[in-house]
């Protein structure tokens, strides 16, 4: 029992500590592909240190929402990290606290507060970015739900720890169309949800074209650090859901001892590295879509998710 609690906390710590590194590696690799040297992979840690040691400025007109939001967007991904299989393939202490839909709600809560905070400041760019984020968000919502419904329909469960076992026992399940098509739809969803290319350019600094980045424009000092860190953790949590629950449920600890769980950390990071390389390939070979073509991208993902549901529901 103690171990289950400790491992669960360890999962959250892994996400907390390694998410800046993952983003640093992603940025470095992108620069290398563009024949530049790029910043060190530890640059995100330095950014966080710098921001935490700075003073904070808060807009006069803003309310408590603006001040609370950084804490919510920081805590929400940690909370989700307790619910998903980051390191182990058996349910941990808090696994049954909420299912996948519950985890989605928690992440959506953070997004909701980020939107409110962007509107709260009175800066014209914040609300603009926030409304775009909402546009992408409400197009993403039905896909999220369809993916979750199909997964729980196939696996007879909505707890991610149990779902992941379904795809590899027996191994032929891995090639079921519901699985592969869900992977495609969920990948498109991650790209949209975290504002990566082709939906949004994460390295763009032009306020008029920003989608995901513009929400935390007004934050400074420790609040900005919390917002950034929360965003990176959300990115890593989504990647881990994709990798550990859907794509490759291998390399996780299956026994209750420390050595297995500690060994799982480098294996999971290796998988994340592989995914980051894949992401760099996508981001380096695609251009950003025009704003009104995002709906085409999302409707393609939606239709793929529906096909996944149909082929799994009617193939007996």
Asked if 303 touches another protein (CB under 8 A), the answer is yes
In the complex, least distance from residue 139 CB atom to another protein, rounded to whole angstroms: 10
CB burial string 31-70: b at 16+ within 10 A, e below: eeeeeeeeeebeebeebbeebeeeeeeeeeebeeebeebb
Asked if 300 touches another protein (CB under 8 A), the answer is yes
Q: Which residues pair with 253 in a beta bridge?
A: 88
Quick one: which of 65, 102, 59 has its CA closest to 219?
A: 59
Member of 172, 208, 259, 290 binding another protein (CB under 8 A): 172
How far is it, in rounded angstroms, from Cα 182 to Cα 316?
Answer: 18
Member of 34, 35, 259, 315 binding another protein (CB under 8 A): 315
In the complex, least distance from residue 192 CB atom to another protein, rounded to whole angstroms: 14
Q: Backbone dihedral region of 282: left (phi > 0), alpha (psi from -120 to 50 degrees) or beta? A: alpha
Asked if 308 touches another protein (CB under 8 A), the answer is yes
Asked if 306 touches another protein (CB under 8 A), the answer is yes
Member of 34, 64, 170, 208 binding another protein (CB under 8 A): 170
Tokens read off for 212: 């995901």
In the complex, least distance from residue 293 CB atom to another protein, rounded to whole angstroms: 8
Phi then psi dihedrals of residue 212, to 5 deg: -85, -30
Q: Which residues pair with 88 in a beta bridge?
A: 253
Member of 16, 58, 119, 176 binding another protein (CB under 8 A): 176
Asked if 314 touches another protein (CB under 8 A), the answer is yes
Interactions with another protein, residue window 14-73 (CB under 8 A): none
Asked if 302 touches another protein (CB under 8 A), the answer is yes
Query: Under DSSP, is residue 144 helix (H, G, I), strand (E, B) or coil?
Result: helix
In the complex, least distance from residue 249 CB atom to another protein, rounded to whole angstroms: 17
**Directed axis angle between helix 64-83 and helix 2-33, to 10°?**
110
Residues that bind another protein (CB under 8 A): 170-173, 175-178, 180-181, 184, 295-296, 299-300, 302-304, 306-308, 310-311, 314-316
């Amino acid at each position: 029992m103690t171990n289950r609690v400790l491992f669960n906390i360890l999962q959250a710590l892994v996400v907390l500590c390694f998410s800046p590194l993952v983003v640093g590696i992603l940025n470095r690799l992108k620069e290398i592909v563009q024949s530049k040297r790029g910043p060190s992979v530890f640059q995100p840690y330095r950014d966080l240190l710098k921001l935490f040691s700075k003073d904070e400025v808060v807009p006069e007109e803003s309310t408590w929402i603006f001040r609370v939001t950084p804490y919510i967007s920081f805590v929400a991904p940690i909370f989700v990290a307790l619910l998903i299989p980051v390191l182990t393939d058996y349910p941990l202490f808090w696994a049954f606290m909420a299912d996948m839909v519950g985890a989605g709600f928690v992440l959506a809560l953070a997004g909701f507060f980020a939107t409110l905070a962007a509107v709260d400041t009175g800066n014209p760019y914040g609300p603009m970015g926030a409304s775009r984020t909402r546009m992408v968000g409400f197009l993403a919502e039905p896909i999220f739900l369809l993916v979750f419904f199909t997964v729980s329909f196939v696996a007879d469960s909505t707890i991610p720890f149990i779902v992941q076992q379904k795809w590899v026992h027996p191994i032929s399940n891995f090639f079921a169309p519901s699985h592969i098509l869900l992977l495609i739809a969920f990948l498109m969803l991650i790209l949209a949800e975290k504002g990566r290319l082709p939906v949004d350019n994460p390295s763009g600094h032009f306020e008029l074209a920003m989608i995901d980045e513009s929400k935390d424009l007004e934050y400074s000092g420790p609040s900005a650090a919390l917002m950034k860190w929360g965003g990176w953790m959300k990115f890593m949590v989504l990647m881990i859901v994709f990798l550990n629950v859907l794509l490759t449920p291998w390399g996780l600890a299956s026994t209750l001892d420390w050595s297995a769980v500690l060994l799982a950390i480098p294996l999971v990071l290796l998988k994340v590295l592989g995914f980051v390389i894949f992401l760099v390939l996508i981001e380096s070979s695609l251009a950003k879509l025009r704003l009104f073509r995002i709906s085409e991208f999302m409707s393609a993902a939606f239709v793929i998710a529906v096909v996944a549901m149909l082929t799994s529901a009617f193939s007996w």
